[in-house]
Structure 1
Amino acid sequence: MAEAEGLADWMSKLNETFTTVPLSHIAIPGSHDAMAYSLDMDSPVLEPDSLKPMDNMFSAFLRPIVKKWGTAQDKTISEQLDAGTRYFDLRVAGKPESSDFFFYHGLYTTMTVKEAMTELKTWLGQHSKEVVILAFSHFKEMSADQHTDLTNFLKEHFKTKLCPKAKMPSMKDCWESSYQVILSYDDRNIEDPVLWPRIGYWWADNSDPNEVISFLDNKKQTGRPEGLFVAGLNLTFDANDMLQYLTTSLKEKTMTAYPLLLEWVKEQHPGSGTQSINIIAGDFVGVNSFAHDVIQLNNAKN
């Protein structure tokens, strides 16, 4: 069986033991910079900031490089869901002279937030026992009124599918109440019963997979956080790295590192233990055994 096959409804097939424990105690595959598969070469946003002074003169040279290194996924949101992904790292920006909201990673996306959330809602309607965790964060170019507009849209869009933050639910709790969306919104100026606080993300900020693993192992020694949290497998490259590796891309570097990273994944354990994991997020989900390996941790005898 190909790794991505049979994972569209993996939550509904969980061992009963894992359907009654909090969602923070099961292993969940996640997508880092989940929407960074539709980057716009004409974007008014350009990151890292250190590249902006060169953009006017060298945009034809710079922007393809930024796109090559900013593209952290190459599957659509539906394809990522089909491949088993249930946590989505969503970075949102307002756009000058536009009422729409976009995602970004180096550049704006061509897909709007409304379009992506419509696609996701349609998918959820076809998979009624699957639950997703949406982590909205890293907001750019957004006013207080725009935050209000975005959260109002999200609440109206998902309505009764939204799980309130009163307590950490189990899969069984979600099924009994028809909850399918946990909505984390990293802006504490907005309080609402259905807006969950920021979900902690262990980020190594390193381009060496060995250093990423070392960082995550050290974090585990400090004990697991309360509630939902993410161990990030994503490699990080700065502007100097991007310019140094002109002939390669983030995908090539990530795929080269994945065998080592997946060995680390297979050694992990979900649960309530002090060194247990919860969400594990990576780049280019759905193109290898990443999601399958994370999900399989729920079947292992710990």
Structure 2
Amino acid sequence: MKGLITTVLALGTALAFPAPRGTSSLSSLALQKVLSDASPILGAYAKSSLSTASWMHHYPDSTKLVHMNLPGVHDAQTWNYSQATQDALKHVTDLDGNTVYPPEIYRCQEKSIIDMLNAGIRVFDVRYAYDPTNSTLVFWHSEALMSETATVEDVLFGFYRWLDEQPSETLMLSFQYEGGTTINAKNDAATQMELFRTLTTPAAKKYFLQTKDQFGTLGEARGKITLLKRFDLDQLPASYGDALPGIHFSPALWTDDGVDIALTYNSAKNLTAYIEDYYQPNSPIGMGAAYNIELKLNATTQHLVKASGMYPDSLFWSFASSNYDVDSPPETPRIMALGNGTQLTPKGGVNQQLVPFLKGMKGKRVGIVMFDFFDTPGDLVQALLDL
């Protein structure tokens, strides 16, 4: 909190007292400090001239968001989680007494969030909880702490700056409380209050679209973030939930490991999202990677076909991400997405097999598609954008 107060004071001082000519403004230096603190999750900030950094400028303002094909990433915060990261954080995670498994169990990406943005990714799945001292909101994947310094609020400033540089674009951020992080972790009133505060600061109110429980047009959303609320504020008075913008996907209504979830997010207008989140194939132990990859691929492609032909004004949201952690050795997110590089997975993983499928869907709406290791193969995201 002290760092945030310092940053806010610096920003306010800089606005009141412009910097002398030839020097960096205090607000610029403060932002650089925030982005530096955020870099273990955000990555090194870099402006891009790639065409994929501004691909939405080709679409008219009248385009409905639910009609668009939007590439997304599952567990975006895990890109930097290596053995070195795990070792560096061991002194913190050892405070909990929880077992933290090898890093390949948790890692779902390998490009930074800045790289994801510049590569055309527009929907981000991120998981938050308090740090082991219960003082700041940080990023986790299950028991694995991603960083002890990069707070949720710091990382949001990276998204804000990127949108300033790419005003034709819009983003969706899916926030989910990550249970099972520490022995003493609780999704209690203090945790929920800190998330509420983070999402209602003056900066958040400027950059988060302030509409509730409905998707509008691209024109309305350009330069803004749509909040996808995969959390409840059930430990706070109802007025807090009413004050928070975005679309509410209550965890109580999101079927765990669901192949075909129908989740109504606006009862008054009967608005329903159709979701595939089949992340752990339901197969006997020992069937092997190729078998589990095929089960997952079939679930995802069937949902994409449904998206292309049914309920054209509804949101479709498909997760191409998965793992199978009951095998020994387990099928990690990387193996499920990319195969294991041997004749045991001759067709590769879900990602490789999705490319020809997507190319065969030319002209169709498939909605949001969330990837693990989105950058492999290199034409995966482009195949979705080319639809």
How far is 1:221 from its partner?
4.5
Which of 327, 342, 358 is the equivalent residue of 1:265? 358
Rounded to whole Å, the distance in 1 between the matches of 2:246 and 2:158 is 21
The 1:37–1:255 alpha-carbon spacing in structure 2 relative to 1, beyond 3 Å, is same
CA distance in 2, matches of 1:229, 1:36: 24
Gaps of 5+ in 2: 1-48, 180-184, 235-240, 250-272, 282-288, 340-348
The 1:148/1:267 distance shift into structure 2, 3 A limit, reads farther
Deviation of residue 117 (structure 1)? 1.3
**1:109 partnered with 2:146:** yes
For residue 32 of structure 1, the aligned residue among 37, 58, 74 is: 74
How far does residue 93 in structure 1 lie from its aligned partner after superposition?
1.4
CA separation in 2, counterparts of 1:6 and 1:83? 8
Query: What corresponds to 1:97 in structure 2?
Result: 133
Question: Residue 74 of structure 1: SS of its match in structure 2?
Answer: coil
Deviation at 1:249, TM superposition (A): 5.5
Quote the residue 1:278 is aligned against.
367
* Aligned-residue offset at 1:250: 3.6
1:213 aligns with 2:306: no
Distance 1:227 1:192, change over 3 A: farther
C-alpha contact (below 8 Å) 2:71/2:369 kept by paired residues: yes
Equivalences for residues 101-180 of structure 1 within 5 A: 101-106=137-142, 107-110=144-147, 111-140=150-179, 141=185, 142-156=187-201, 157-163=203-209, 164-165=211-212, 167-175=214-222, 179-180=223-224
Secondary structure of the residue aligned to 2:178 is strand
Q: 1:235 is paired with a residue of what secondary structure? A: coil
1:57-114 CA deviation, whole Å, 9 max, x = no partner?
Answer: xxxxx63x2x112110111111100000000011111123142112222411113312
Identical counterparts, % of pairs: 18
- Is structure 2 residue 242 aligned with structure 1 residue 191? yes
The answer to whether the 8 Å contact 1:31/1:85 transfers is yes
- Kindly provide the CA deviation profile for residues 5-39 of structure 1, in whole angstroms up to 9, marking residues without a partner as x: 4200011123x3xx423101110000011111233
- Report the TM-score, using the length of structure 2 for normalisation: 0.61
Cα separation, partners in 2 of 1:70 and 1:90, compared to 1, 3 Å = same
2:74·2:370 contact (CA, 8 Å) conserved in 1? yes
Segments of 5+ residues of structure 1 without an aligned counterpart are 56-61, 298-302
Equivalents in 2 of 1:11, 1:210: separation in Å?
Answer: 32
For 1:12-23, what aligned pairs fall within 5 Å after superposition?
12-14=57-59, 16=60, 19-23=61-65
Q: How many residues are aligned here?
A: 266
Q: Which residue of 2 aligns with 1:244?
A: 329
Q: Using the alignment, how far apart are the partners of 2:362 and 2:129 within structure 1?
A: 35
Q: TM-score, normalization: structure 1?
A: 0.77
**What is the alpha-carbon distance in structure 2 between the residues aligned to residue 191 and residue 267 of structure 1?**
43
CA distance 1:289–1:153, change in 2 (3 Å): same
Distance between the aligned counterparts of 1:249 and 1:213, measured in 2?
A: 15
Cα separation, partners in 2 of 1:91 and 1:201, compared to 1, 3 Å: farther
**Aligned equivalents of 1:270 and 1:20: distance in 2?**
18
Larger radius of gyration: 2
RMSD (Å), alpha carbons: 2.9
